[in-house]
Amino acid sequence: MEQSEKAELIRALQTGVVLVAFTKVNTEEVRIMPCSVNVDILESYDIKTEVREQNSESEQIVCFALDKLGWRSFIASTVIRWEIIDIEDVPRAVIDE
């Protein structure tokens, strides 16, 4: 992933919800993860921690996984695709757990 695309992905995570598909490093399994670092979205999950500035030069991207309700990270070079989605597109059962 080019540095400019990483910067775009980081901006998208900061402003809303992103659906990221990537290959897990240890298992080669493809993971599709709805995630965000947007402060308002995190607060709606009672998460008070903010992600410090993420650098697009770093290979690791940190985010809050809305389906696992926990902090996760992935390696930028393993990203297959990503897209901005609406919070309403995250399955309701995931949000209610």
Q: Check: CATH 2.30.30 for 3-96?
A: yes
Closest CA to 32 of 72, 92, 60: 72
**Is 0.85 surpassed by the pTM of this model?**
yes
Please write the tens of the pLDDT for every residue from 63-90: 999 999 999 999 999 999 999 999 888 8
Give CA–CA dist 41/46, Å, rounded: 9
Please write the tens of the pLDDT for every residue from 11-48: 999 999 999 999 999 899 999 999 999 999 999 888 88
Handedness of CA 82, 17, 29, 54 (dihedral sign): positive
- Burial label for 61, CB within 10 Å (0-12, 13-18, 19+), is buried
Domain boundary assignment for the chain:
3-96
